Amino acid sequence: MKNNNISSSLISHPSSLIIVTGGAGYIGSHTLIELDKAGFDFLVLDNLSNSSQEAIKRVEKIINKKIPFVKGDIRDKELLREIFKENRIDSVIHFAGLKAVGESVQKPLVYYENNVCGTNNLLEVMKEFGVKKFVFSSSATVYGEPDKMPVTEDMQTGVGITNSYGRSKYMIEEILKDLFISDNSWKIAILRYFNPVGAHESGMMGEDPEGIPNNLMPFITQVAVGKLPKLRVFGGDYPTHDGTGVRDYIHVMDLANAHVKALEYINNNDLNEPLIVNLGTGQGYSVLDMVKAFERASGVKIPYEIVDRRPGDIAKIYANPNKAKELLGWEAKRGIDEMCESAWNWQSRNPRGYKGE
């Protein structure tokens, strides 16, 4: 056996499994809880390049069950073949990917290799084994700078994307559409996430970025625990209600639940094309709205200063989430207060994230 990372207990799992790539990451780990709740069995494949196995251990505690885990890379075909050979794989939920927007501008080839080539590789092996159900983590970034709001799924994609990360998501969407054209027995769900924030209610799991966070919410929570001195608000002169950027923040547990709904949908319906849905609340909040909501939820003051705009940022984007409601029967249930409370619950109990004290 070339890869000795598969523990023998994982081999020949009796029931049929979902492979969750990137399942140790922020959104993937939260989704495991919802999958378990809905009665699905799964195996996690993650190379831990941006996560810790501790996240899996925390999920195991919450669901009170051992999770089959393979430390490995989606670009390793032999490893994938081994997993598909040794298990009855039913479908793949594909979270694995690199996601730092700024880094992707510096290292485009690394991003295309990991995200685009990695996904292509995974799809090739799925095809070899006749496994054709695929749920993909896409992003609102594929819309570029939309001229109409809220954004609907039929709007133009691929134009005006300002970074290689975003383009990698667009390219993968196009690959998936072409794959379906070549063989319409594939069942593909493309989920366009807006801005995932918050954490599981237990406070045992949450977002744990390496180094200084790029995203707003983990930056705010790290200011709140005193790890960072103050928030820099990127731009105070956007054409929005208070001049700061507006986004559609969505609670990670609502997002997690949408994966269950999407999987059930592709399991139970014949598709004429890949299913594409926006996952957002439909509500836009500015950076300063988020700061205020967080202060309310935590009772901690967040010092901030308004600085120049961040290159590549757009003024405003929020979803029209109706398609997900109509087709999947899914809608976000948790509001901005719950998003902030749960993010704070996680960060205040785990100031150093999964690394412990």
Sites of contact with ligand NAD (CB under 6 A): 21-22, 24-28, 46-51, 73-75, 95-99, 114, 118, 137, 139, 193, 195-196
Q: Is 326 helix (H, G, I), strand (E, B) or coil?
A: helix
| CA torsion, ordered 31, 130, 8, 76, to nearest 10 deg | -80
Instruction: Give the one residue of 99, 200, 251, 261 binding ligand UFG; rule: CB under 6 A.
Output: 99
Q: Please state the closest distance from residue 274 (CB atom) to ligand NAD, in A.
A: 16
Closer of 195 and 283 to ligand NAD (Cβ): 195
For residue 282, the partner it binds in ligand NAD, ligand UFG, none, with Cβ less than 5 to 8 A by kind, is none
The total number of residues written for the chain in this structure = 357
Residue (of 264, 239, 226) closest to 348 by Cα position: 226
- The reply to whether 195 sits near ligand UFG by the rule CB under 6 A is yes
- Name 137's bridge partners: 191
Residue (of 89, 187, 181, 101) closest to 136 by Cα position: 187
Q: What are phi and psi of 33, to 5 degrees?
A: -65, -45
Q: Return d(Cα 173, Cα 180) in angstroms, integer.
A: 11
Radius of gyration of the chain (CA): 20
Q: Return d(Cα 309, Cα 233) in angstroms, integer.
A: 8
Instruction: Give the one residue of 132, 247, 259, 334 binding ligand UFG; rule: CB under 6 A.
Output: 247
Closer of 49 and 162 to ligand NAD (Cβ): 49
Spatial CB neighbours of 13, under 8 Å, sequence gap ≥ 6: 41, 43, 68, 87, 88
Closer of 193 and 238 to ligand NAD (Cβ): 193
- The reply to whether 232 sits near ligand UFG by the rule CB under 6 A is yes
- CB 155 within 8 Å of CB 323: no
Closer of 28 and 240 to ligand NAD (Cβ): 28
- The reply to whether 318 sits near ligand UFG by the rule CB under 6 A is no
For residue 280, the partner it binds in ligand UFG, ligand NAD, none, with Cβ less than 5 to 8 A by kind, is none
Q: Is the bond leading into 146 cis (omega within 30 degrees of zero)? A: no
Q: Which one is catalytic: 26, 112, 165, 285? A: 165
The count of C-alpha atoms lying within 13 angstroms of the C-alpha of 234, restricted to the half-sphere facing its C-beta, is 14
Q: Please state the closest distance from residue 218 (CB atom) to ligand NAD, in A.
A: 10
Tokens representing 221 are 């929570």
Place of tokens 């667009």: 170
Tokens representing 228 are 């960072």
Based on the residue annotation, tell me whether 165 is a catalytic residue of this protein.
Answer: yes
Instruction: Give the one residue of 287, 324, 336, 339 binding ligand UFG; rule: CB under 6 A.
Output: 287
Tokens representing 97 are 């990917």
Instruction: Give the one residue of 52, 119, 141, 298 binding ligand UFG; rule: CB under 6 A.
Output: 141
For residues 25 to 54, the per-residue mask of contacts with ligand UFG, x marking binding by CB under 6 A and - elsewhere, is ------------------------------
Closer of 118 and 144 to ligand NAD (Cβ): 118
Instruction: Give the one residue of 5, 120, 214, 322 binding ligand UFG; rule: CB under 6 A.
Output: 214
- The reply to whether 167 sits near ligand UFG by the rule CB under 6 A is no
Instruction: Give the one residue of 166, 198, 274, 282 binding ligand UFG; rule: CB under 6 A.
Output: 166
Q: Return d(Cα 300, Cα 5) in angstroms, integer.
A: 43
Q: How many residues bind ligand UFG (CB under 6 A)?
A: 21
Closer of 137 and 342 to ligand NAD (Cβ): 137
Spatial CB neighbours of 106, under 8 Å, sequence gap ≥ 6: none
- The reply to whether 144 sits near ligand UFG by the rule CB under 6 A is no
Residues with a catalytic annotation lie at 165
Residues in contact with ligand UFG by CB under 6 A are 99, 101, 139-141, 166, 195, 214-216, 219, 231-234, 245, 247, 287, 310, 313, 317
